[in-house]
Structure 1
Amino acid sequence: MEYRGYLAALEFDDSSDTLHGRVNNSGPYPIATFEATDTTQLRREFRRSIDEYLAWCEEDGVEPKRP
């Protein structure tokens, strides 16, 4: 998935029927992780995670890690 230039790697956990994602093009450590039980919710959580990360950076005066 892609949002605002950030890319997410996705995995499915069969034991809990949960989809997990992490932003993987922002450096050696993911800036955001997220999870959901369906693809619609997963997309929403991905976007929310990026938006919250960027808002936090702006509020704290920190330069965000860019893709």
Structure 2
Amino acid sequence: MKYLDYKGYNGTIEYSEEDSLLFGKILGIRGLISYEGNTGKDLEIDFKEAIDAYLADCKSDGIKPEKSFKGSFNVRISSALHQKAALLAMESKVSLNTFVAESIRSRLMKEI
């Protein structure tokens, strides 16, 4: 497992040689939520407790918790690449958004 996953949140798994400690942080949100543990099981427990505490704090403060990977993001590419992608999408009778999503999906399938 490369990442921890709980309630739709993903977290890193890292190791500090200096401290002989596993640690990580939640990915895809602006706030810093970190966790640690001496073993993989301890790390997983602290990861879940950190997320539960974050969600409880948001609820008690009446704020909406951030979600990792909302499904939208900005991509900066060259104008030439943008043009080629837009024209190919039009020729394929799909939106640029659909074209990009299908391109990403195709690349990810090659990684599996």
TM-score (norm 1): 0.89
Distance in 1 separating the partners of 2:61 and 2:25: 22
Matched with 2:16 is: 13
Distance in 2 separating the partners of 1:37 and 1:30: 24
Distance in 1 separating the partners of 2:15 and 2:31: 18
Asked which structure has the greater RCO (Cα within 8 Å, sep 6+), the reply is 1
Residues 1:2 and 2:16 aligned together: no
Distance in 2 separating the partners of 1:55 and 1:46: 14
Note the aligned Cα RMSD (angstroms).
1.1
Moved over 6 A (4+): none
5 Å-filtered alignment, 1:1-67, equals: 1-26=4-29, 29-67=30-68
Distance in 2 separating the partners of 1:25 and 1:38: 24
CA displacement at 1:30 relative to structure 2: 4.1
CA displacement at 1:16 relative to structure 2: 1.3
Distance in 2 separating the partners of 1:43 and 1:20: 10
SS at match of 2:65: coil
Distance in 2 separating the partners of 1:20 and 1:31: 13
* % identical aligned pairs: 28
* More helix, by proportion: 2
Identify unmatched segments of 5+ residues in structure 1: none
Structure with the greater alpha carbon radius of gyration: 2
Deviations 1:11-66 (A, max 9, x none): 1011111011100122xx34410111100100000000000000000001011001
TM-score (norm 2): 0.55
